[in-house]
Amino acid sequence: MGRLFGTDGVRGVANADLTAEMALGLSVAAAHVLAEAGSFEGHRPTAVVGRDPRASGEFLEAAVVAGLASAGVDVLKVGVLPTPAVAYLTGVLGADLGVMLSASHNAMPDNGVKFLARGGHKLDDELEDRIEAVYDAHRHGEPWERPTGAGVGRVRSYGEGFDQYVAHLIAVLPNRLDGLRIVLDEAHGAAARVSPEAFSRAGAEVITIGASPDGLNINDGCGSTHLDLLKAAVVEHGAALGIAHDGDADRCLAVDHTGAEVDGDQIMAVLALAMKERGALRSDTVVATVMSNLGFKLALEREGLRLVQTAVGDRYVLEEMKEHGYALGGEQSGHVIILDHATTGDGTLTGLMLAARVAESGRSLRELAGVMERLPQVLINVPDVDRTRVSTSAELANAVADAERELGETGRVLLRPSGTEPLVRVMVEAADIDQARSVAGRLADAVKSALG
């Protein structure tokens, strides 16, 4: 079978790809692998288990809890909470393992299982591979060692997690939000209770949309993947800004008072300057992926800050941040990591910090986000080519060099082979949209000629 674990746990259509049996088996395997790795040594292990509101999360949670308890792990069920809340509680409660059931911004039929290590950090690839191998061996007949009697895990609900997480969010805010009217779009997801509570306690006047999850409506025409409702609501209510989360609330996109979108790059630019003023932006550095707009890099450089870029994926951003002790990083999609206060992207925290900057500066979000000008970006997918030769074709290297010479400092070129299909993505940014289209078209032709 192919690798079960993707970049963010195991995902698929619930009850088709991701079954109760699989969730139970993976949980038992995780307990065994962590025990073998010495994570449980000398104490009785505990796991924190949370989920988003998807209907399938109800039976998958039951399966995960059964698997962990049957392997001798005590379980604290925190209920419906955002992914970053489960990560925070895993850390603060000293748990050995965290499990989040969510498929984030995916459509409702999907779900996922994400394991977190001690401290609330993502599991290492090697541990995920080991869990998968142990799970596979069991599926093919290898019996589990199972505790009996008092050795089985005990299960209890942990409702206090909600207040602990909200209190944490309020405690790390640099200033209050009094006087700000804010519209929150909760995507009918995991932050539907947490986020309005946190913003209200911080002093904001809160208007909510997408905050009535029924198990079936998560991400349905709302949230960070569908901003039209939020844009309209912000303008209608005369709000200072709007904040949109995705299903598990590890992302945040924003809307200014005119209804214009403020993306992850712009949010990071605003937060970077705020953190620099407070002395919280270590090494005057922000980490982002190669997909961040060139306008973001230029804006940071203008302000005397440095941008370090990684491969696409929040995991690579986080690795770079942890390795060098950087405080701020993220993706254009709104997955922003503020490492002093969270171990993963936290949409509610990001939104609160953004609103705090608006409140403290007395400037509108539109004006603050104006520090960065998004350069026009053209993306062309070139199908039916040999994506494996992108880095070795001399013809293509020459075409890229010519394009980069033409664009100079005010533009850039990125060629990315697809990870799953026989196609190459050509991305060109330039100060002028016509130039971007022209250069992208020529490069797409070069890709066809060199790799077709």
Binding site feature residues for Mg(2+): 104, 246, 248, 250
Token pair listed for 409:
């400092």
Residue 451, strand partner residues = none
Q: What angle do CA 177, 183, 188 make, to 5 degrees?
A: 120
Annotated binding site: 104, 246, 248, 250
The answer to whether 278 and 175 are in contact (CB under 8 A) is no
How many Å is the Cα radius of gyration of the chain?
Answer: 23
The residues that are catalytic are 104
81 backbone dihedrals φ, ψ, rounded to 5°: -145, 155
CB count within 10 Å of CB 107 equals 13
Token pair listed for 295:
């306008």
SS3 labels along the chain: CCCCCECCEEEEEECCCECHHHHHHHHHHHHHHHHHCCCCCCCCCEEEEEECCCCHHHHHHHHHHHHHHHCCCEEEEEEECCHHHHHHHHHHCCCCEEEEECCCCCCCCEEEEEEECHHHCECCHHHHHHHHHHHHHHHCCCCCCCCCHHHCCCEEECCCHHHHHHHHHHHHCCCCCCCCEEEEECCCCCCCCHHHHHHHHCCCEEEEECCCCCCCCCCCCCHHHCCHHHHHHHHHHCCCEEEECCCCCCCCEEEECCCCEECHHHHHHHHHHHHHHCCCCHHHEEEEECCCCHHHHHHHHHCCCEEEEECCCHHHHHHHHHHHCCCEEECCCCCEEECCCCCCCCHHHHHHHHHHHHHHHCCCHHHHHCCCCCCCEEEEEEECCCHHHCCCCHHHHHHHHHHHHHHHHHCEEEEEECCCCCEEEEEEECCCHHHHHHHHHHHHHHHHHHHC
